[in-house]
Amino acid sequence: MSEDQNTAATAEKKERRVVGRVASNKGNKTITVVVERSVKHPVYNKILRRSTKLYAHDETNVAKEGDLVAIVETRPLSRTKRFKLVEVLQTHA
């Protein structure tokens, strides 16, 4: 592979960025992020709120409980951690 092809291949790779709220920061360098989404029921057409818990790596332990954070998918860091913290978007007052 030439250098141009290698950089083009990495530029095409889209990272999965997720925004959610920190539910727990009790682990050392680990935060639990709750990501909520709205889904329409197929029969009753009611809008339902569904949530997913994701574990993310927080190297500097900067995120606190209740903060709105952005996380990005990365290589597996442990048995459950597949994301790392990118930035704290809003702090919980």
pTM above 0.85, yes or no: no
Q: How many CA atoms lie within 13 A of 48 on its CB side?
A: 9
**Per-residue tokens: 75:** 């290589």
Separation of alpha carbons 21 and 35, rounded Å: 7
What percent of the chain clears pLDDT 90, i.e. is strictly above it?
82
Identify the structural domains of the chain with CATH numbers, from first to last: 14-90 (2.40.50.140)
pLDDT, one tens digit per residue, over 7-54 is 655 556 788 999 999 999 999 999 999 999 999 999 999 999 999 999
> Which tens digit of pLDDT belongs to each residue from 77-88?
999 999 999 999
Two structure tokens written together for 3: 């250098």
